Structure 1
């Protein structure tokens, strides 16, 4: 049997449709994996190890400002951290609470700060291509001041309860803190505590030579605010930040 021209064209059309149907469209094709062509993930930076100023020491190598002898420029130094391109340095005046910030692509930076004042500092490691960071330990130091023979203690830090803690219902709590002094001559601590809405504690719980005060009465459902005044053998003193905790 001979096929006419119309039948041949129809046959070719049906074969074309069948081929398209079996092959599928490009949109239905499975995604192509990158395989070896995918870029390797960016590793997270590691934390830096602080070098200078050292922790709980007096910094006496700063360059005094020739136009203002109440200030000096201190070179902050740390060890290189792995997988890190740059560093952010934070230096905080422990008397005023104000902070200074500096960025560096090396392992040191110069910052001008007040003399005869306690500071704390830490370094954040950063890397290009990732938002992950790593934070170093925090060091405290005194920047040497003119004619100072004995430095005030560093402000105490809360240990228990931790600041902002929610603790289980109880009738009493042990307050615990840590403190240090360049001259290592802390004599006593005075503890202040208020419960309720008053956020600047003024009620003294007395003094102690220890770094804890046990059996402090508390009431469930109350938020407490407390602070520590640290005094050394020369009468120099410092007062901590206000710490907060809630008894559930």
Structure 2
């Protein structure tokens, strides 16, 4: 009986030692909030000092920041991609150009946290004039998502550095990768369509102002259950 108790005790000690020796997986830092340039800002200077909040790491690991600046909201036409240890950096950009930016926080183990929001801003030209609206931002349904059949509200957000401009929208919609113009003068940031089960749809929104300046949107897709 004594031998049995000793064996049980030894097994418990071995199990405890094994549990203590297990390495706790390293956690990623928190997402940062973008401070400057703010969303849809018209910057009078093209030498921009980007600034964001400090990320918090659960293990207090050293944190670095990857800033991406692009000329499109999808962040594919990248003009700047650098990793720094500070929460601000000054970058000289082109004048009279729309830009989109975000910041990812990562720790020393390259664990990347949740990405920040993507903000749009515009650098002013030498002469104040009418600027092209920012590219539409997707709201619903999410890109590459699965939804139910029936009537679906396509919704988006849009803005213009010329705050007094009146914006209207051209909505393109279709099955698979093919889209056709549904309405070229939508006044609200939503459009209703009917969708069928088992099909995949694509859609796009172009934003234009009353002066004819227009930004061409990205193509988004969703599938129907």
- TM category, shorter: 0.7 to 0.9
The question of whether the paired residues in 1 share the 8 Å contact of 2:46 and 2:94 is answered with no
Separation in 1, partners of 2:22, 2:220: 49
Give the deviation of 1:197 after TM superposition.
Answer: 4.3
Distance 1:132 1:123, change over 3 A: closer
Q: Does 1:138 align with 2:118?
A: yes
Structure 1 gaps, min length 5? 1-22, 64-73
Aligned pair partner of 1:218 in 195, 211, 215: 195
Aligned pair partner of 2:72 in 80, 94, 105: 94
Partner of 1:8: none
Aligned pair partner of 1:46 in 10, 27, 30: 30
Superposition map of 1:1-248 within 5 A:
30=14, 33=17, 44-63=28-47, 74-83=48-57, 84-94=62-72, 97-99=76-78, 100-129=80-109, 131-170=111-150, 172-184=151-163, 185-198=165-178, 201-214=179-192, 216-248=193-225
The question of whether the paired residues in 1 share the 8 Å contact of 2:104 and 2:112 is answered with no
Give the deviation of 1:218 after TM superposition.
Answer: 2.8
Distance 1:179 1:224, change over 3 A: same
- Say which one has the larger Rg: 1
Distance 1:196 1:125, change over 3 A: closer
Aligned length: 211
The question of whether the paired residues in 1 share the 8 Å contact of 2:170 and 2:181 is answered with no
Separation in 2, partners of 1:197, 1:220: 17
The question of whether the paired residues in 1 share the 8 Å contact of 2:68 and 2:82 is answered with yes
1:30 is paired with a residue whose SS is: helix
Give the structure-1-normalised TM-score.
0.72
Give the deviation of 1:47 after TM superposition.
Answer: 2.1
The question of whether the paired residues in 1 share the 8 Å contact of 2:132 and 2:160 is answered with yes
Give the deviation of 1:131 after TM superposition.
Answer: 2.1
Separation in 2, partners of 1:175, 1:134: 26
Give the deviation of 1:169 after TM superposition.
Answer: 2.2
Distance 1:173 1:45, change over 3 A: closer
Partner of 1:7: none
The question of whether the paired residues in 2 share the 8 Å contact of 1:102 and 1:109 is answered with no
CA RMSD of aligned residues (A): 3.2
Separation in 2, partners of 1:52, 1:108: 9
Give the deviation of 1:202 after TM superposition.
Answer: 3.1
2:14 is paired with a residue whose SS is: coil
Stretch deviating more after TM superposition (152-161 or 110-119) = 110-119
